[in-house]
Copies of this chain bind each other. A is one copy, B any other.
Amino acid sequence: MPISGKQLIAGKWLEGRSGTFNGVNPATGEDLEPQFTCADEFQVAEAVSAASECFTAFANTTPQQRADFLNACADEIMALGDELLERVSAETGYPRGRAEGERGRTCGQLRLFADWIVDGEYLDARIDTAMPERQPLPRPDLRSFNQALGPVAVFGASNFPLAFSVAGGDTAAAFAAGCPVIVKGHNSHPGTSELVAQAIDKAVQKCGLPGGVFSLIMGAGKTVGAALVQAPGIKAVGFTGSTAGGTALFKLANERPEPIPVFAEMGSINPVVLLPEALKNSAESIAAGFVGSLTLGTGQFCVNPGLVLAVEGDGLEQFIAATGEALAKVGAGVMLNKNTRQGYQSGVAKLRDQAGVEQVAAGEAAGEDGGFTCQAGLLTVCAKDFLANRELQEEVFGPMSLVVKCRDRAELLQAIQSLQGQLTGTLQCSESELASYGDLVELLRQRVGRIVVNGFPTGVEVCHSMMHGGPFPAATDARFTSVGTMSIARFVRPICFQNYPQSLLPDALKDSNPLEIPRLVNGEKSRAAL
């Protein structure tokens, strides 16, 4: 089916009733065909009501049925073939390799979650058997497991048109949990969004699921997005994007008559700490790796290294010089859209205006030919000025980083202590100096979701142990991640059955353990039947 510009509402492709817009090719600034329609609030309500209606049916599918569905989504996304890759590139400016890589990541994620839910560990099934003879009171039979939370609203991110968008991590996690999903597609890649929605729609049909399991809504964030988060039928929100956007949704969700959890993965400047020995021994190779991480995807990653912290000295000067040389060879990258470029330019201008900030390196200047290109760069500031100015901790989304020069170790500690919550914290160090910087590591650990040693923060592996989140404002709740199998926990809640008849218990809790899942039986983990 060619891209229609329509909404997908519970299995039906419908014209939006609230205006139109076009995708834009960021490399040229030109409109892409076809035109897209915007949903109105009634269409949002329709999607939510369909999701609520089919919630129980979807929540009660077996893990295997949901796994089949997740795999079918991956199959159908692959079946879109070149059309999808071309549309991704046209809408984002990403080279085909990136589009292909991200497609692989997206489908791999769906398939990993499929395997994982069949394993059943995520259900956290627990059985405490009855003790009818216990004194002074008998213990009843108690059994609990994780059930789906309810319909989930997902907000696609601009910078991952596949992996954090329509069939991205949030959607995969919600489907895995058994929650219907309504995606508010990002206006920056509407064609990509529709193509992926077509694939999910096919998977829904192939698996015989109700249409309400998935809807794609396009439109203005402030009206459609707000209506979605405020709809009583929505029970959780997944969001990846700016701090302003995430905190606005968080506020809306908390102010509902029935507040609901929002997992918003938001801003981060991802500090990279360069310790003295590492700088002394390998300033140049660190600089090479750093520039690669800083300019990857034109710096449009939430784990982009926007801050470098080190004690001043020859090593740091060498790092800055090498970074400058490498940056000078970096072409003007294409940013995702006009707003992103504008945000980058004004963010950089604001940073440059702050007391003590100096620009020490730059890449190729941005072009003037209509495409949304931008110039990479490096800034420096002394720790004293950094400590005095919270604005230097504001994320500038794009390939710009700020080096904080500290007088000594004490000032370096102070600078780390001043940091807000972050997705990641990186240490470049020798093993022996890492051991001797325990105090610094502790400060960093309290402020981040992931610690990277002798690497760079970009490259967020989808696996069991990934933590992609962190203390506010990295995310709205540091106890959850939006990447990896742990992310399913955002969309489930435990329910307990007391003295429930065997034959009517959910399969996960039956004595016979028909799902063959691991369960905690009277405190011991086992896959055995009772």
Q: Which residues of A are at the interface with B, using a C-beta cutoff of 8 A? A: 55-56, 60, 101, 115-116, 119, 121, 124, 126-128, 136-137, 139-140, 142-144, 147, 149-150, 250-251, 254, 258-261, 420-421, 431, 434-435, 441-442, 445-446, 448-455, 459, 461, 463-467, 471-473, 476-479, 481, 486, 489-490, 492-501, 503-504, 518, 520, 522-523, 525
Contacts and interface: CB of A to CB of B under 8 A. Distances in A.
B523 A494 contact: no
Copies of this chain, how many? Answer: 2
B149 A498 contact: no
Contacts of A56: 442, 446
Contact of A147 (B121, B445, B465, B466): B445
A421 B258 contact: yes
A457 to B, nearest CB: 9
Contacts of A142: 461, 463, 465-466
Given A421-B258, A465-B144, A455 B137 contact: no
A520 B455 contact: no
B479 A137 contact: no
A494 B481 contact: yes
A496 B144 contact: no
A450 B492 contact: no
12 contacts: A60-B442, A119-B523, A137-B459, A144-B465, A150-B446, A250-B259, A431-B504, A467-B495, A467-B496, A471-B493, A479-B494, A525-B525
Contact of A495 (B150, B445, B496): B445
Contact of A128 (B435, B464, B496): B464
A282 B124 CA distance: 36
B101 A453 contact: no
A459 B520 CA distance: 22
B250 A496 contact: no
A91 to B, nearest CB: 23
Given A149-B478, A499-B453, A464 B126 contact: yes
Nearest to A509: B465
B121 A498 contact: no
B465 A143 contact: yes
Given A149-B478, A503-B435, A467 B494 contact: yes
A435 B502 CA distance: 11
Top 3 closest A-B pairs, CB basis?
Answer: A126-B465, A467-B496, A144-B465
A523 B121 CA distance: 10
Give the dominant DSSP class at A's interface. mixed
A149 B449 CA distance: 11
Given A435-B504, A453-B498, A464-B522, 16 more contacts: A56-B442, A60-B442, A140-B461, A142-B463, A144-B486, A150-B446, A261-B477, A445-B495, A450-B497, A451-B498, A453-B501, A464-B520, A471-B493, A478-B493, A479-B489, A479-B494
A525 B520 contact: no
Nearest to A261: B477
Max chain B CB contacts within 10 Å: which of A251, A449, A501, A518?
A501
A484 B489 CA distance: 18
Nearest to A144: B465
B455 A496 contact: no
B261 A479 contact: yes
Given A126-B464, A127-B465, A463-B139, A504 B471 contact: no
B453 A128 contact: no
B498 A449 contact: no
Contacts of A464: 126, 128, 520, 522-523
A359 to B, nearest CB: 30
Given A101-B136, A139-B463, A465-B144, A452 B504 contact: no
Contacts of A498: 450-453, 455
A496 B303 CA distance: 14
A121 B55 CA distance: 31
A472 B442 CA distance: 36
A471 B260 CA distance: 9
Nearest to A138: B459
B503 A121 contact: no
A520 B467 contact: no
B466 A496 contact: yes
Contact of A501 (B434, B442, B467, B501): B434
Contacts of A503: 431, 435
Contacts of A124: 486
A229 to B, nearest CB: 14
A289 B35 CA distance: 65
